[in-house]
Amino acid sequence: MSTKKYFPKRYFMVLGTFLLALLLYIDRVCISVAKEPISETLHLNDKQMGWVLAAFSLGYALFQTPAGMLSDKSGPRKVLSVIVTVWSAFTALTGAAWNFISLLVVRFLFGAGEAGAFPGMSRAIYSWIPLNERGLVTGVNFSGSRLGAAFALPFVAWMIGDFGWRPTFMILGGIGVVWAGAWYVFFRDKPEEHQGISEEERTVILVNRQQQDASENGNKIRMSTLLQSKNMWLAMGQYFCSNFTFFFALTWLFPHVKSEYNLDTLEAGFYTSIPLICGAFGNWFSGAMMDRIFKSGQWNRSRIFPASLGFLLAAVGLVGSIYMDSAVGAIVFLSLAIFGADMTLPPSWSFCVDIGKENSGAVSGTMNMAGNIGAFLTALAFPYLQSWTQSTTPFFVVGALLNSIAILMWFNMKPQQPFST
Residue 1, domain member (yes or no): no
Is the distance from CB of 346 to CB of 142 less than 8 angstroms?
yes
CA-wise closest residue to 38 among 156, 176, 173, 177: 156
pLDDT at 336: 95
Confidence band, pLDDT 50/70/90 cuts, at residue 419:
low
Residue 416, domain member (yes or no): no
Residue 60, domain member (yes or no): yes
Task: State the pTM of this model.
Answer: 0.71
247-306 pLDDT, tens digit each: 887 778 888 888 888 887 778 878 888 898 898 899 889 988 998 998 888 888 889 999
Residue 109 has pLDDT above 60, yes or no: yes
CATH number of the domain at 282, please: 1.20.1250.20
Give the helix/strand (H/E) hosting 265. helix 265-295
Number of domains in the chain: 1
Q: What is the separation, in whole angstroms, between the first and last Cα of the chain?
A: 38
pLDDT at 250: 73
Average pLDDT over residues 155-175: 85
pLDDT at 375: 72
Q: How far is CA 296 from CA 10, 299, 300, 348, in A?
A: 24, 8, 11, 20
Running DSSP on this structure, what letter comes out for residue 192? G
3-class DSSP state for residue 180? helix
33-60 pLDDT, tens digit each: 788 888 888 888 878 887 887 788 788 8
Residue 318, domain member (yes or no): yes
Q: How far is CA 375 from CA 118, 147, 152, 235, 248, in A?
A: 15, 19, 19, 15, 8
Confidence band, pLDDT 50/70/90 cuts, at residue 210:
low
317-326 pLDDT, tens digit each: 999 988 888 8
Cβ within 8 Å of residue 419, ≥6 positions away: 221, 225, 226, 229, 231, 232, 355, 356, 359, 363
Residue 419, domain member (yes or no): no
Is the distance from CB of 319 to CB of 396 less than 8 angstroms?
yes
Is the distance from CB of 231 to CB of 417 less than 8 angstroms?
yes
Instruction: State which residues form the domain around 77.
Output: 10-208+222-410
The CB-side HSE value for 109 (13 A sphere, CA atoms) comes to 16
Residue 214, domain member (yes or no): no
